[in-house]
Amino acid sequence: MSKSLDVALSFRRAEENEAELVSEIVRAAYSKWISVIGREPTPMTADFKKAVREHDIDLAIVAGEVVGLIEIWLQVDHLWIENVAVHPHRQGIGIGRTLLAHVESKAVQAELGEIRLQTNEAFKANIALYAALGYGIDRREPFKGGTTVFMSKKL
């Protein structure tokens, strides 16, 4: 049973000088998957200086500490989630769910009727979370010896 989110969570957009902080959170959050897939997950290898400049990265903050993030960009007909990452010491208390709800409201504000994302098929907990939140599997594609699962949610 997961712990409930009983802390005050706020959001703000990452600034260009925070690319290293974004990288640290992503690397910490995804490190548990290295042994599962036998390599660093793709988000761990991203160019976060470029990502912070080109995408919206919203930071989740608890008591002044950045504990997670969600990286998105708005497309013509949908909102794309590139990355959701919660620091390991804050996982399991609802921050990921809250980040996803946060961007869902952004999609509604932008009058976009769909959210899309992808994840590794080996990341069973992530797929279960997305499914529980209303995301459906659209397709699967081979990728680096594994399988990428593409999911979406109609709003």
Structure tokens that stand for 61 in this block: 């903050």
Asked whether residue 1 is domain-assigned, the answer is: no
Asked whether residue 15 is domain-assigned, the answer is: yes
Asked whether residue 4 is domain-assigned, the answer is: no
15: domain range?
9-154
Asked whether residue 3 is domain-assigned, the answer is: no
CATH number at 102 reads 3.40.630.30
Tell me whether strands 56-62 and 9-13 are parallel, antiparallel or unpaired: antiparallel
Is the pLDDT assigned to residue 8 strictly greater than 90? no
CA distances from 133 to 29, 54, 63, 126, 138 (A): 20, 27, 26, 11, 15
Distance (Å, whole) CA 55 – CA 95: 20
Tell me the per-residue pLDDT of 91-124, one tens digit each, with 9 for 90 and over. 999 999 999 999 999 999 999 999 999 999 999 9
Tell me the per-residue pLDDT of 54-80, one tens digit each, with 9 for 90 and over. 999 999 999 999 999 999 999 999 999
- Rounded to two decimals, what is the model's pTM? 0.93
Asked whether residue 44 is domain-assigned, the answer is: yes
Distance (Å, whole) CA 79 – CA 72: 7
Counting the structural domains of the chain, the total is: 1
